[in-house]
A and B are shown apart, each in its own frame.
Chain A
Amino acid sequence: MPRETKPQIVTANDLFEGDVVYFQSDGEWSRTICAAQVVTSALDAKELLARAEIQQDRIVGAYLTNVSVDDQGIPAPVHFRETFRATGPSNYPHGKQVEG
């Protein structure tokens, strides 16, 4: 039985635009955190990151980050840095908060 960990997702920046992206279960990247694949074991996390990191032609700097998960299984950021990344800057309506 793999050791249970806090829920985690893989995030990175898009190579072309630099925008924050999240790794999905189908191997594609989403611009929104809701679509990210959530894993809850150290082994799954390692595998997810490895699968994501292969895509060097699409993304930069993939890493694992903790999330909270609601009763629908939808992930949300835990750390305030990830909240900024998921939303965009606070001083202008730029980035994800307007571009989706």
Chain B
Amino acid sequence: MYVYNEFDEKFVRNRITQFRGQVDKRIDGSLSEDEFKPLRLMNGLYLQLHAYMLRVAVPYGTLNSAQMRQLAFIADKWDKGYGHFTTRQNIQYNWPKLQDVPDILDALADVEMHAIQTSGNCIRNVTADHFAGAAADEIEDPRPTAELMRQWSTDHPEFQFLPRKFKIAITGSPNDRAVTKAHDIGIRMIRNEADEPGYEIIVGGGLGRTPMVGKVLNPFLPRSDLLPYLEAILQVYNLAGRRDNKYKARIKILVHETGLEEIRDRVEAAFERTKSEFVQPSDKLVEALQKYFEPPLFNNVQSPEFENLKAANPVFRSFTETNLAEHKNPAYAILTISLKPVGGTPGDATSDQMRLVADLGEKYGHDEIRVSHEQNLVLPHVRKADIPQIYAALRKAGLATANIGLISDMIVCPGMDYCSLATASSIPVAQELALRFDELKLEHDIGPLKVKISGCINACGHHHVGHIGILGLDKAGVENYQITLGGDGTENFAIGERAGPGFSADTLIPAIERLIEAYLDIRDEPSETFLATYRRLGMEPFKAALYPQENQHAA
């Protein structure tokens, strides 16, 4: 893992001192709210529906156990004993008090964490494949590159006031778990025909009110060109991105309105300049970054206990089927800890749960923990032989829900329960949906299915890329939910298609139930997933299930 150098430490501490002064000035009246708001946002502090909210960056979703314990400590000391893990691999605290925030930031700095650039019109926390450095299908660990981009983008003087926020995601695997095509810039680590490493640069993807599929700006960028090339893209966007209309200010709109070819020409022209001017990171730094993310020393001692327990205990077997992924070392597995207990709040973890995950990561997981954009936690390197012990500990703490990739493993934004932008609630919808399908005992029969729920058009819940997407809106003062079908956030990226008129809060869950029943009826065989069935048959049979009255009417 990356370790702060003297510069990082000093920068973060200076920023806290500065922010402490700004908070004091807001309280004594020398700063108005209009003056203070951009300053607090630069430090991750929002004002939400019931309280302030502090968004803490987890760079590319990687944490160690000491950091996780500190997050738990902060939750207990200054919040209400829990935290909310987000789709940008960050953690949010929902109840901090303004005067406590500088102290919270100091506590974060003690473990090399901060909340800088988690808000505002700047380059946000770079996200990465949550299985980075562990996945069997990976070409290369994306985190050294992600860390390089973090250093480049943090406090970058030219890019602190972009037309709008800017999000970068990177994957080192052909199976895209980082949703690269829905980011302002998506980066795929690839190799060319000569087996040289490089990057495919995707630009102009995004969700929100105008969902767009990212387009390939450069199919193969040599490794050493990355930072000057990113600098060139950002320069083009900074100058030409729209500042007249907040809703048209993201780079996706610029690419769409200007055309990919024209943008490419402008980026290439800018790149000619940046390439000669750019002070490249030294080879020493690049090598050092590689070293920080070297794989741990694996212990390949096998034990029959894992297979034995799988054979003996069907509940454990079910857990291993859903919550384990293939590790590059066959003696190991990647273990996802679900933060989606049936009826719970997706993405939330109590301080006790955080401490347990920290302990397990330290004892069994080479001190590595990840936050996934799907709002779960991951122990990326666990020995299969240790999984029975890990499972037993998780089970005691209510963290052994065996549902990864299934209907109750939903991405859900905070919605009207917390968010000042929300137009409808989303957490209660998720709770009700999970409880209903638990009652029906259909979850495992349905198989892989991604449901994603947003409580407003800004799409923090990624509904556009849900196999089933749910968007909550305010229709004349009443919550109304639109359903989209067929979205996909992976390498086969697709934006979901709206099925038809929305549903009221009390007719939504029965509608989803009809949808699922229809799928179970029309799938070719149990192994044909919901998404595959949708792709084979299209919208019609699903629409018929969602709107049965209209069919009767037509008949």
Query: A residues within 8 Å of B by Cβ?
Result: 13, 15-20, 56-57, 60-61, 78-81, 84-85, 88-92, 94-96
Contact = CB atoms under 8 A, between A and B. Distances in A.
B428 A61 contact: no
B425 interface: yes
B417 A91 contact: yes
A interface SS class: loop
B536 interface: no
Given A18-B51, A18-B52, A85-B50, A56 B97 contact: no
B29 interface: yes
Given A89-B417, A95-B50, A15 B427 contact: no
A85 B48 CA distance: 10
Contact of A81 (B29, B97, B345, B416): B416
A58 to B, nearest CB: 10
B49 A61 contact: no
Interface of B: 26-27, 29, 32-33, 47-52, 80, 94-95, 97-99, 345, 416-418, 422, 425, 427-428, 431, 474, 477-479
Contacts of A90: 417, 425, 427-428
Determine which residue in A17, A19, A91 has the highest number of CB atoms from chain B within 10 A of its CB, and name it.
A91
Contacts of B417: 84, 89-91
Given A16-B98, A91-B427, A61 B80 contact: no
Given A81-B416, A90-B427, A16 B33 contact: no
Most buried by A among B50, B51, B345, B428: B50
Contact of B33 (A19, A56, A78, A85): A56
Contacts of B52: 17-18
A60 B51 contact: no
Contact of A16 (B27, B94, B95, B474): B27
A91 B428 contact: yes
Contacts of A78: 477
A20 B29 contact: no
B80 A94 contact: yes
19 contacts: A15-B26, A16-B27, A17-B51, A17-B98, A18-B52, A19-B50, A57-B27, A60-B33, A61-B33, A78-B477, A80-B478, A81-B474, A84-B417, A85-B49, A90-B427, A91-B431, A94-B80, A94-B95, A96-B50
Contacts of B99: 16
- Which of A20, A56, A78, A85 is the most central at the interface, judged by chain B CB atoms within 10 Å of its CB? A56
Nearest to B424: A80
A16 B52 CA distance: 9
Contacts of B477: 78-80
Given A18-B98, A94-B80, A84 B47 contact: no
Nearest to A60: B33
B97 A18 contact: yes
Contact of A15 (B27, B48, B428): B27
A92 B50 contact: no
Contacts of B427: 89-91
Contact of B47 (A61, A79, A91, A96): A61
A85 B26 CA distance: 24
Nearest to B479: A80
Contact of B50 (A60, A61, A80, A89): A89
A78 B417 CA distance: 17
A13 B478 CA distance: 24
Contacts of B49: 20, 81, 84-85
A56 B27 contact: no
Contacts of B479: 80
A35 B102 CA distance: 33
Given A18-B47, A20-B50, A80 B416 contact: yes
B47 A60 contact: yes
A18 B422 CA distance: 17
A17 B49 CA distance: 12
Contact of B98 (A15, A84, A88): A15
Contacts of A15: 26-27, 98
Nearest to A81: B416
B431 A18 contact: no
B418 A13 contact: no
A88 B422 CA distance: 14
